[in-house]
């Protein structure tokens, strides 16, 4: 009986290993939304139904390839807008898919652009409902150890790698990153601005505890 149980266990492990998708891309990720991710209940009650409908998500590939297409050093940014709070499903509401304007590194060729957009859609799960615009753009993505900055002509994102945890008004973490992240930490956004035309909305929402940063793999 023990031998039979061990056989089943080994078979399950083999199938799990065979079914696991090998990691082919690694890099840095950062996001900021227009609602606090770490706040007191008093703030969350006011924001849940009125804010958090927009966000900037950015990836910088350190090294790797998708479908044989090399993506070393390339970046991609998604600006999102939805009809309700993008994280409402985490606090008991019902989310609607977001509209996305995707900015792909201007250095990428056609195959690399396609691979970067496919990676973003996969990592984001069902978050993105439609891509309303895909634009090649010079993307500045820098990590100086204390802050991550991302910018194109249409957007600016600056996330400080710290977050104060004041013990007042029931402060706690309400949301998680909007995409798959390996090692995520909360941050404070110094800038979160989108001024493009594709989403029919613009925003500037700085100085909030509304960010995550970390590493990703795909």
pLDDT score, position 88: 81
**pLDDT tens string 149-185:** 999 999 999 999 998 776 666 788 888 999 999 999 9
Topology annotation, domain 23-217:
Acetoacetate decarboxylase-like (2.40.400)
Local structure of residue 118 (DSSP, 8 states): H
**pLDDT tens string 23-70:** 899 999 999 999 988 877 777 766 767 788 999 999 999 999 999 999
Cα–Cα distance measured from residue 122 to residue 106, given in angstroms and rounded to the nearest whole number:
21
- Determine the number of helices (DSSP H) and then strands (DSSP E) in the chain: 3, 14
Cα–Cα distance measured from residue 114 to residue 120, given in angstroms and rounded to the nearest whole number:
10
Helical H segments across 170-212, by residue range: none
Which tokens go with 132? 């309303």
Mean pLDDT of 129-147: 97
Lowest-pLDDT choice from 13-22, 51-60, 100-109, 201-210: 13-22
Residue ranges covered by each domain of the chain:
23-217
Mean pLDDT of 187-214: 96
Is the per-residue pLDDT at 16 higher than 60?
Answer: no
Q: Is 37 helix (H, G, I), strand (E, B) or coil?
A: coil
Residues 26, 60 contacting (CB under 8 angstroms) = no
Is the per-residue pLDDT at 213 higher than 90?
Answer: yes
Prediction pTM value? 0.87
Q: Which of 112, 130, 120, 129 is nearest to 216 (CA)?
A: 120
CA distances from 150 to 7, 9, 17, 23, 40 (A): 51, 46, 36, 25, 28
Cα–Cα distance measured from residue 55 to residue 72, given in angstroms and rounded to the nearest whole number:
25
Share of the chain above pLDDT 70, in %: 85
Greater confidence (181 vs 7) lies with 181
């Amino acid at each position: 009986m023990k031998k039979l149980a061990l056989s089943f266990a080994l078979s399950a492990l083999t199938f799990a290993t065979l079914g696991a998708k090998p990691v082919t891309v690694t890099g840095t990720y950062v996001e900021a939304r227009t609602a606090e991710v770490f706040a007191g209940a008093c703030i969350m009650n006011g924001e849940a139904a009125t804010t958090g409908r927009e966000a900037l998500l950015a990836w910088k590939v350190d090294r790797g390839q998708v479908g044989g297409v090399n993506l070393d050093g390339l970046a991609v940014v998604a600006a999102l807008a939805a009809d309700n709070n993008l994280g409402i499903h985490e606090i008991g509401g019902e989310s609607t898919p977001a509209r996305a304007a995707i900015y792909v590194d201007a250095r990428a060729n056609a195959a690399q652009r396609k691979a970067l957009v496919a990676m973003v859609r996969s990592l984001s799960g069902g978050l993105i409902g439609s891509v309303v615009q895909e634009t090649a753009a010079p993307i500045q993505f820098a990590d100086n150890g204390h802050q991550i900055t991302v910018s194109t002509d249409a957007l600016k994102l600056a996330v400080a790698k710290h977050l104060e945890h004041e013990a007042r008004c029931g402060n706690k973490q309400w949301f998680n990153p909007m995409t798959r992240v390996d090692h995520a930490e909360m941050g404070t956004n110094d800038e979160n601005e989108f001024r493009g035309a594709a989403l029919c909305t613009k925003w500037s929402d700085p100085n909030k505890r509304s960010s995550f940063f970390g590493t990703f793999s795909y």
